[in-house]
Structure 1
Amino acid sequence: MFPETRHFSAGVVHPNVPNAQNISVLNLLDMTSGLDPTGPMGDAPYNNDDANAQKMIQDTHYNEQNFGKWDYQDLDYILLSHILEKVNGQSHETLFNDIYVYPLKLKHTDFVWADQQKLKEVDFLFNGQNVDMNAIHGLLGAGSVAMSNDDLYKTSLDLLNGKLLSEQNKDIIYAPGNNALHYRGGLYTKNNHYESNGNGYGYCNFLRISKDGKNVVVLQSVDSSHYGDLSNSANKIYTDLFSKTRIKHLYA
């Protein structure tokens, strides 16, 4: 589906998205849309995804100076989730489960608004924080899914090894983005591997994975106050385990 839909604009969600006719799916994947939120991502109280999209669009500002420049905004991926809903005529939850959870037999993956027992099985608990579920629903597509280490690895591996994406689609989605940080599709492209990072609800997670998916470091923590240190630790662990220089030294 992606080659045919990659030229859709943000107007697929609603024509009132500022500069909708010029913002492509690739702009949203690259975080180069020039769109900025000026209010909450969703409606409160949460009613449905469509109402959330309308409220978000109403509070969206277009910054012409930032169009084509990398600017990390959850808004871009939230728009992508609503584009998928519109194009497929199904909810984001249904699409996610049908594409990932059921085919990959993921056992420890669920949406953050699942009941406490399911979240416990995923090893995801809110650590005593007061969490606004309206805000979490508003982050649909950008911060709404919890995964165990093994499920995160399995999903990432199957996105890179051809089981979920064709080579053509993988090359489109995970090509180095049109930005200085080489970001696209949730991944930063490095010389020999990809990186991704997440932070929210007191949790943080870091993925470092080789381009063939065979070498990986997954680090998740319930203490996001040390986000920078943990990111550096993930980098060091990956380098120590998998860098060519290190491997050559070990077998010399």
Structure 2
Amino acid sequence: MKNKIFSLLFLSLITLPGVIHAQDKAKLDEYFNALETNHKFSGSVSVSKDGKTIYSRSVGFADAATNKKINDNTKFRIGSISKTFTSTLIFKAIEDKKLKLTDNLAAYFPTVPNASKITISNLLNHRSGIHNFTNDPEYTTWMTNAKTQAEMVAIIAKPASEFEPDSKADYSNSNYVLLSYILEKAYKKPYKEIVDQNIVKPLGLKNTYFGGKINPANNEANSYATNDTKEKEPETDISIPMGAGGIVSTPNDLSRFIEALFSGKIISMASLDQMKTIKDNYGMGLFKFPFDSKTGFGHSGGIDGFTSLLSYFPEDKITFALTSNAGGSKNNDVAIAVLSWVNNKPFEIPDFKTFTNSSADLDKYVGNYTSAQIPLAIAITKDGTTLMAQATGQSAFPLDGTAKDKFAFEMAGILLEFKPEQNQMVLKQGGGVFTFTKGK
């Protein structure tokens, strides 16, 4: 749901062969042991072939206050993977003759800017031009408070349109909140009941439902800012994300859901084809995840400290699902390791060695840095023996020493290399290399 300072880059180098051989699970277990020991991942994963789970693993704490460990039935908020559920329900409503893709938003919520030009189809593939309310700076000041449908519609309707409907695509949680309300009007039932009656009960999903207040006693995970599970994240009230990010599930249930979706057990294959059709990088509740000659379909998610991934590869009938409850979990790296294991391809067990600096060692890095390459200033400070970085308009974040003059912020994939003698700092992120100069 919320914008993150990192993006989920998804497995661009994986090849998925048609035949999977028997696997030695020991190395994959060792991989997750290393992640858990070094506090690099907290969550659950599941990988399936032909609808059967061939590996699952859970590490970390569902509730740090009681030392309650995560297990295969621990339930997580799945964030924007909820959009795949909502899109599926929209197509189910279309098949039930309750809606049409060409239905106009003005028939439901005429106060939304350009409502008379926006269709259900535009909402599904993010071509509405409706402002994304989670981008607003003040969003974090009210996200923990319950909102009514009328209040949310007023929030969504207040900003002007960002572009002419259907002229381009831009991701907006507002689209899927509105789709949730449209479903409620079409079925004359709460969204929670619509999910339950059309997906959960027919598929026999035991751990999937529209969420509420997190309840650790019900084996629901809390979310945390980092993998050491010391700082609990604020809890978005589930009335706000609705079908854009309000569903709770497990990797095993998510796998069963997407496998049923792709086998025609929820909606027709013709409807699924429409969901899969990509225009300007967006499908209708689905994204493409290409790997060499293979293509997977699914969604990623993030809400509070929760992150998630779900992808299905129709050609090989392989499903990968991941849920995490701690910021800093490197979901992409975990996915690469697991799918490498599926494909009998090599993967490394990370070392996680760190380089220790004294407080005095850090003095030579402290200062304000600017770059001629990008309009971004970075202030480097220290807090005891921890080096801190703060980019213009962002919160400060801690840096981990990895070698002499080298630091990293793993959550965002940031690498910093200092050159004190030259008063320079080199930032590497997402393939970009940027040189910064320290002010005098």
Normalising by structure 2, we get a TM-score of 0.48
Q: Deviations over 1:141-169 (max 9, x none)?
A: 11111101111111111111100011111
Q: Distance in 2 between matches of 1:173 and 1:183?
A: 6
- SS in structure 2 opposite 1:198? strand
- Seq. identity, %: 21
Q: What number of residue pairs does the alignment pair up? A: 236
> Which residue does the alignment assign to 2:102?
7
Aligned to 1:24: 119
The equivalent of 2:414 in structure 1 is none
Which residue of 64, 74, 77 corresponds with 2:163? Answer: 64
- Please give the per-residue CA displacement for 1:201-229, whole angstroms capped at 9, x wherever unaligned: 21111112112682111122222324xx4
- Say if 2:126 is the partner of 1:126: no
**Which amino acid counterpart does residue 21 of structure 1 have in structure 2?**
S
Given that residues 119 and 125 in structure 1 are in contact (C-alpha distance below 8 angstroms), is that contact kept between their aligned partners in structure 2?
no
1:166-177 aligned at under 5 Å gives the runs 166-176=268-278
Amino acid at match of 1:146: V
- Selected match of 1:184 from 259, 284, 303: 284
State the match for 1:249 in structure 2. none
Q: CA deviation at 1:132?
A: 4.1
CA distance 1:55–1:43, shift in 2 (3 Å): farther
Do the aligned partners of residues 203 and 101 (structure 1) sit closer, same or farther apart at CA in structure 2, a change above 3 Å counting? Answer: same
Q: CA RMSD in A?
A: 2.9
What's the secondary structure of 1:208's corresponding residue? strand
Counterpart Cα distance in 1 of 2:336 and 2:161? 35
The separation in 2 between residues aligned to 1:193 and 1:238, in whole angstroms, is: 12
Which position in structure 2 is the counterpart of 1:250? none
Q: Deviations over 1:166-198 (max 9, x none)?
A: 11111112222x21x243313335342213211
Gaps of 5+ in 1: 247-252
Tell me which residue corresponds to 1:207. Answer: 310
> What SS class does the counterpart of residue 131 from structure 2 fall into?
strand
Give the structure-1-normalised TM-score. Answer: 0.80
* Cα pair distance change 1:37/1:24, threshold 3 Å: same
Q: Distance in 2 between matches of 1:18 and 1:81?
A: 18
Closer, same or farther: CA 86–56 of 1 in aligned 2, 3 Å:
farther
Instruction: Give the Cα separation in 2 of the matches to 1:232 and 1:126.
Output: 20
2: CA distance, partners of 1:148 / 1:234: 16
CA deviation digits over 1:29-53, x for unaligned, max 9?
Answer: 11121111455498985253x2234
Greater Rg over alpha carbons, structure: 2
Distance 1:158 1:101 in 2: 11
Structure 1 runs (4+) greater than 4 angstroms displaced: 38-45
Larger strand proportion, structure 1 or 2?
Answer: 2
1:102-251 aligned at under 5 Å gives the runs: 102-114=201-213, 116-117=215-216, 119-120=218-219, 123-127=220-224, 129-134=232-237, 136-176=238-278, 178-179=279-280, 181-188=281-288, 190=290, 191-211=294-314, 214-226=317-329, 229-235=330-336, 237-238=338-339, 241-242=342-343
| C-alpha spacing 1:17/1:239, structure 2 compared with 1 (3 Å) | farther
Tell me if the contact between 1:173 and 1:184 (Cα under 8 Å) persists in the aligned partners.
yes
Distance (whole Å) between structure 2 residues aligned to residue 12 and residue 235 of structure 1: 45
